[in-house]
Amino acid sequence: MANTLKPVNEQILVVTGATSGNGLAIVERAVRDGAAVVAVARNETALETLRVRLSATGARIATCVADVSDLAAVERVATVAIEAFGGFDSWVNNAGAGTYGTLEQVPVADHRRVFDVNYFGVLHGSLVAARHLRTRGGGAIVNIGSILGDRAIVEQGPYCATKHAVQALTDTLRMELEQEGAEISVTLIKPGAIDTPFPEHARNFMDQPPRLPPPLYAPEVVADAVLFACANSRRTLYAGGGGLMSSLLSRTAPRVADLIMEAIGTATQQKPGDPGDSARRDNLYEPRTDALRGSQDVHARRSSIVLQLQKLPRSLLAVGLLGGAAAIALGNAAAKRR
């Protein structure tokens, strides 16, 4: 598909899960870059606070209270965008929920709830967005997946399953839109571990407070990837080199990756003595206190070299990869002659 996407400063973006973590970082970056935004979340108080704060800076922002698991609520988001700005150019499916615990520990109802938000929420947003973007002659749908869509990890089975499903959904959506000739870019963003309130928001069945395994990246890294995808057609973008390395290991040596996860997967997802902010705990069914970053004591990288490399023009990236491969080959040949 030809890249007919507008620059971000000429766009209207819809962002779900907009009051916390990656979604909040996306909204703040988008308005800073000159875009208008329709911010969507369940947390009405946090949405209004966000609207007031950003409007005071001159940002163009509208809000819509919606649970993405409800198709009618998601359809209402499109109506708000049309009434506020005449429509939208990019739709970012970011809202998510999770649990910590084994498959047996997590009640089946909670499994279903995670799917309702993470899979059906993306499906609802994608269908509504595609329907609208066809009428505008194109645009972008950006889905937030995870490296856990490439490989599973213990203690987060339901979440991993939804991200595998989002991978398939995104690929199918892309093919079907291309098949019909719709000029709609479909991108899957695959963050690694990001320093958001996710561990505090997730419902926890472990005997210790949950955490995300290092290395962690700041939510602004995901925002960088998303805003790039809104203006540049890409199939997939990895946000964070640590996640990409985990994915590559799983593809090249899946059994080794399994054994590593079995050995350290639980310990690296627990933070004894540091549960974080109790006001944020467990938002699976109802919103809790939202924030940009997690409140646990962790270190997060503020940039990702891997992401910046993916943003290079395809031709330049190909030349760089070929050059790197040639240099490695020459180095190996020289070593053999010694």
The set of catalytic residues is 159
| Helices and strands in the chain: count of H runs, count of E runs | 12, 12
Taking the C-alpha atoms of 244, 247, 251 and 253 in order, what is their torsion angle to the nearest 10 degrees? 100
Pairing of strands 216-217, 300-301: parallel
Burial of 90 (0-12, 13-18, 19+ CB in 10 A): buried
Q: Which two tokens stand for residue 338?
A: 């010694």
Residues in the chain: 338
Burial of 304 (0-12, 13-18, 19+ CB in 10 A): buried
Pairing of strands 139-144, 203-204: unpaired
Q: Which two tokens stand for residue 243?
A: 């996640």
Q: What is the separation of C-alpha 285 from the centre of its chain, rounded to a whole number of angstroms?
A: 20
Local structure of residue 47 (DSSP, 8 states): H
Integer Cα distance of 259 and 164 in angstroms: 20
CB 214 within 8 A of CB 311: no
Strands (E), 74-148: 90-93, 99-100, 139-144
